[in-house]
Structure 1
Amino acid sequence: MGTKATTITPELSAEVYQTKQDKVVSSAILLPFILITCCFALWGFANDITNPMVAAFQKIFMTGATEATWVQVAFYGGYGAMAIPAALFIRRFSYKAGILVGLALYAIGGLLFIPASGIGEFFPFLIAYFVITCGLSFLETTANPYILSMGSEATATRRLNLAQAFNPIGSLIGMFTASQFILAQLDERSKAERALLSAEQFDAVKSSDLSIISQPYIIIAVVIAIIFISIALLKMPEQKQVAVDDASVGGIFKRLVANKRYREGVIAQVFYVGAQIMCWTFIIHYGTEVFMGEGMSEKDAQILSQQYNIVAMIIFCLSRFICTFLMKFINPGRLLMILAFCGILLSAGTIFIGERTGIYCLVAISACMSLMFPTIYGIALQKIQGDDAKFAAAGLIMAIVGGTFLPMLQASVIDNWSAASISAVEASFALPLICFVIIAIFGYRTYKVHNV
């Protein structure tokens, strides 16, 4: 009996210790976790105050949908340009330093709206958006793996989903700001009515509208400065150092390219981000078409469409918390596959049913998208550590460039579609449908092939 007891006690102690270690977030690092999680809300704000600006700039500068979508190209292009430099930076310095650089660039980009508004041309705004997302690229390349490292690997994906759950809260604030403080305040004249104005009248309307667009970006720059100071003054958790056989950049990339699960995760992330941006950007066009067909003015139709976009984000936010809970019981890859399949069905409804029901289908897609980014991210990074994780994170953030070319392709469909059976806007949602097919395949392979 005595021998048996002495054999079991250490094992029980180890289990108790492991349970404590497997907390999603330890109380010892709760404040740093909260501050880094605030960054998730900050880039959510930037993403979703910007999506409706495609329609706004289209009217202000009298462009087509394709040209106005350069807002998204500039915005998401910064992710591709700065992800690898961000990985090199945090490898040389620290996660904390990467966060601070990201916040600084984000604030500078917001302040660039002051001269852009004064100049009154489209291109300076594109530069401001690009600088903002250079900062966001630093933030996301750094914050995601930093959150993963703040505790046990067993709870890493749940911890990232928890932090990412605050991203749509920032998105909701961004959408509300775009709806109430930008779209509702812009001059109500349509493109056709603006075309009839004299040059002086048009310039006065454009100047007023650009000032309205700029104000929220300037205010958020001040908020970011406060977060910057808070993180700069706080002692943050040290990043874990993991020894590898070949720590050179070439060796790291060689290992990542050879990792089939990671490779497929990057591809899935490209198409997920593209689907998300397409659904949230062109819901304004979709809703405006439907509501104007019901007799609304263009401005009222755009404002109501943005309200539907806000509802979609609320659903996205609630679904993120629900899916984070469900991951305790359902394999992440299987859940990803199920939700992607639902996204396929709802995209088909958006295309072929149309009218108000089509809008409802488009809004419901957000429930399916809620867990996709952090789950793809967590699956792709599983068992990747140290410097490898930093560069792997950069690759997954570079995948956000899916938000540049796919929305541009959708805008091209809208501008050039000529078939009479379904409208151009409805037809354009075939692209998100294809994206969800690719994500569903990755989800299936995750638990059937990669055994995650």
Structure 2
Amino acid sequence: MNIKDQVVPRSMLMPFILITSCFALWGFANDITNPMVEAFSRIFSMGASGGTWVQVVFYGGYGAMAFPAALFIRKYTYKSGILVGLGLYALGCLLFIPASSIGLYPPFLIAYFIMTCGLSFLETSANPYVLSMGPDSTATRRLNLAQAFNPIGSLTGMFVATTMIQANLDPRGAAERATLLPEQFEAVKSHDLHVLSNPYISIGLVIIAMFVIIAIAKMPNKEESDHRLNLWGTLKKLFKIPKYREGVITQMFYVGAQIMCWTFIVQYGQRIFVRDGLTPQDLESGWLHIVDSLGFLSSDVSKVISSGQGVNGLSLGAGAHIAQLYNILAMFFFLVARFVCTFMLKYIQPGRLLQYLAIGGIILASGTIFIDGMNGLYCLIGVSACMSLMFPTIYGIALEGMGDDAKFGAAGLIMAIVGGTVLPKSQAWIIDLKQIGSMPAVNVSFILPLICFVIITIYGYRTVKRQAL
């Protein structure tokens, strides 16, 4: 094979594998954390809006560190940026040790913020680093290959959140915990915080090992960019380009939609399973039997599944646990759809495919709002398939033809992840209303992801029009 056609040259194979593993590591962090909104809300007896402070500080760290990370790798190297990212990631995880001992909410928020500052460094460094590991002609394919490992990490994070955290938390909700004596409440809270913290501490140790491996490994040492590049001048020039300016705005709304759909599917499903329980028809669907046979369920939920008799209602904890299993199913569809949509890009322009996927998201989000019960939950699961290729497609459209300016342009698109702070907080406020007219507030809250998909549709449409001109 001609070296120009190689996706990953042989000399770059080991560095590529090491950096690609980072894509899975930040996917793990993102999707073990989304279900923790419900967990913290239950542990500290807060509403959904209180739990979403996790999302505010988690995704706020991306916005805080994207441009500092870009400046850092411009002054030093991509490898240095990766190491700083891994170091902050590990530090944030290990801070769960004192946080769980203190037993208060703010120390956990500090740990999350430090951890996500590391993730921002990782994403800002790893994406262009992978692009540099081979010929320009295969750069996009190389990045797509690396990005394929991100949802694998996400699935692992969801699995750990379900089997190691939610399955072992005390199932009592806020109302039941309020009836406990102070010493009983503290004992339950202490138990739950240690259950929640242990996986983070374990991944922190894994990150330290990865830090050491990459630190001693021989890595390509590329000249990242012109050190005389003017940051503000470059940004000013970039934001005069419509496809980039609109791309950053669209990316903010996409990230907000993704986080809302993957976070509040737990509250959406929890309401269904606590209100309606599990019917024999639900049990006959096969999905819950599969996860039960693999040992993914807590013992009390497993008994319900094994009986096949259904149950009139579940505790809040059991309802959240089963809802998170459906979130894993949504991530599976996301992963499969990513490969399918990547294949479809051979035949459909990126802007047009983005438009089609966003229209699908609008239709399914509407079903999530207006269809109550399990069918509404299935619509919400289907939204994940529509989201599968949105982030990299928006990223690619916005940066196409940017040349060296793409270094800071990429940082702007990573900073757009800050969209994950405001929108989920707004949705949580709606959910805490409980009921809006005749409709459940959790159903109505998905009007926000629907609006996000409308904005993405417009960006796809405008991209197609620009390409036609």
- TM-score w.r.t. length of structure 1: 0.92
Query: How far apart, in 2, do the equivalents of 1:36 and 1:27 lie?
Result: 15
Counterpart of 2:47 in structure 1 is: 64
Q: Is there any run of 5+ residues in structure 1 with no aligned partner, and where?
A: 1-15
Specify the SS of the correspondent of 1:358: helix
Secondary structure at the residue paired with 1:196?
A: coil
Equivalent residue, structure 1, for 2:367: 349
Residue 175 of structure 1: SS of its match in structure 2?
A: helix
1:147 aligns with 2:165: no
Q: Deviations over 1:262-294 (max 9, x none)?
A: 111111110010000000000000000111121
Distance 1:42 1:116 in 2: 22
Please give the per-residue CA displacement for 1:333-387, whole angstroms capped at 9, x wherever unaligned.
111111111111110110011210011010111111111111111221222233x
When the two chains are superposed, the root-mean-square deviation of aligned CA atoms in Å is 1.7
Q: Which residue of 1 aligns with 2:346?
A: 328
Instruction: Please state if 1:425 is matched with 2:442.
Output: yes
Q: By how many angstroms is 1:241 displaced? A: 5.4
Letter in 2 for 1:406: L
Q: Which one of 265, 269, 281 corresponds to residue 287 of structure 1?
A: 269
Q: Structure 1 residues 280, 435: closer, same or farther in 2, change over 3 A?
A: same
| Alignment partner, residue 61 of structure 2 | 78
Matches within 5 A, 1:197-212: 197-212=180-195
Is the CA contact (8 Å cut-off) linking 1:79 and 1:400 kept in structure 2? Answer: yes
Instruction: Write the distance in 2 (CA, Å) between the matches of 1:432 and 1:396.
Output: 19
Q: Residue 42 of structure 1 aligns with which residue?
A: 25
- Residue 264 of structure 2 is aligned to residue 274 of structure 1: no
1:416 Cα offset (Å): 2.8
* Partner of residue 417 from structure 2, selected from 392, 400, 406: 400
**CA, structure 1 residues 91+317, in 2 after alignment: closer, same or farther (shift >3 Å)?**
same
The Cα of 1:156 is off from its aligned counterpart by 3.2
Q: More displaced, 307-316 or 223-232?
A: 223-232
Determine helix, strand or coil for the equivalent of 2:436.
coil
2:341 pairs with 1:309: no
**Matches of 1:193 and 1:45, distance apart in 2:** 32
* Matched-pair contact (CA < 8 Å) for 2:74–2:225: no
Residue in structure 1 matching 2:240, options 255, 258, 265:
258
Once residues 362 and 131 of structure 2 are traced to their aligned partners in structure 1, the CA distance between those partners, rounded to angstroms, is 30
Q: Does 1:168 align with 2:151?
A: yes
Equivalent residue for 2:386, pick from 368, 376, 380: 368
CA contact (8 A) 2:77 2:224 kept: no
DSSP-derived class of the 1:273 partner:
helix
2:158 and 2:41 mapped to 1: Cα distance? Answer: 18
Amino acid at match of 2:444: A
CA distance in 1, matches of 2:352, 2:140: 14
Q: 2:97 aligns with which of 111, 114, 132?
A: 114
| Cα separation, 1, equivalents of 2:402 and 2:5 | 18
Alpha-carbon contact 2:62-2:119 (below 8 Å) kept: yes
1:416 alignment partner, SS class: coil
Alignment partner, residue 116 of structure 2:
133
Distance across 2 between alignment mates of 1:275 and 1:136 = 20
User: How many residues in Structure 1 have an aligned counterpart in Structure 2?
Assistant: 433
Q: For residues 22 and 448 of structure 1, what CA distance do their matches in structure 2 show?
A: 31
* 1:403-436 deviation per Cα after TM superposition (whole angstroms, max 9, x unaligned): 1000001011112364233210000001001101
Residue from 437, 443, 449 that aligns with 2:454: 437
CA distance 1:242–1:95, change in 2 (3 Å): closer
The correspondence for 2:231, drawn from 244, 249, 254, is 249
- Residues 249 and 451 (structure 1), Cα distance of their counterparts in 2 relative to 1, 3 Å cut: farther
Q: 1:98 aligns with which of 56, 61, 81?
A: 81
Asked if structure 2 preserves the Cα contact closer than 8 Å seen for 1:52 and 1:178, the reply is yes
Provide the C-alpha distance between the structure 2 equivalents of 1:283 and 1:358, rounded to a whole number of angstroms: 11
| Alpha-carbon separation, structure 2, partners of 1:206 and 1:445 | 51
Letter in structure 1 aligned against 2:459:
F
Matched residue, 1:8: none
Among 410, 418, 428, the residue aligned to 1:411: 428
Match of 1:51 among 34, 56, 60: 34
CA distance, structure 1, for counterparts of residue 33 and residue 132 of structure 2: 30
* C-alpha distance in structure 1 between counterparts of 2:399 and 2:389, whole Å: 16
CA contact (8 A) 1:102 1:139 kept: yes
Q: Which residue identity does 2:418 align to in structure 1?
A: V
Q: CA deviation at 1:255?
A: 1.9
Change (3 A) 1:376 1:433: same
* Maintained 8 Å contact 2:337/2:388: yes
Provide, for residues 97-143 of structure 1, a one-character-per-residue CA deviation record: whole Å limited to 9, x for no partner. Answer: 10110000000000000000010000000000000000000001111
Deviates more, 1:137-146 or 1:317-326: 317-326
Contact 2:436 2:444 in 1 (8 A): no
Match of 1:378 in 2: 396
Deviation, structure 1 residue 188: 1.8
Q: Percent identity between the aligned chains?
A: 63
Q: 1:233 corresponds to which letter in structure 2?
A: I
Determine the structure 1 residue equivalent to 2:465.
448
1:158–1:368 Cα change, 3 Å? farther
CA pair 124-241 structure 1, distance change in 2 beyond 3 A: closer
The corresponding residue for 2:308 is none
8 Å CA contact 1:343, 1:368 repeated in 2: yes
Residue in structure 2 matching 1:339, options 327, 339, 357: 357
Residue identity matched to 1:311:
L
Tell me if the contact between 2:172 and 2:315 (Cα under 8 Å) persists in the aligned partners. Answer: no
Q: 1:330 to 1:151 in 2, by over 3 A?
A: farther
Normalised to the residue count of structure 2, the TM-score between the two structures is 0.89
Distance 1:324 1:153 in 2: 19
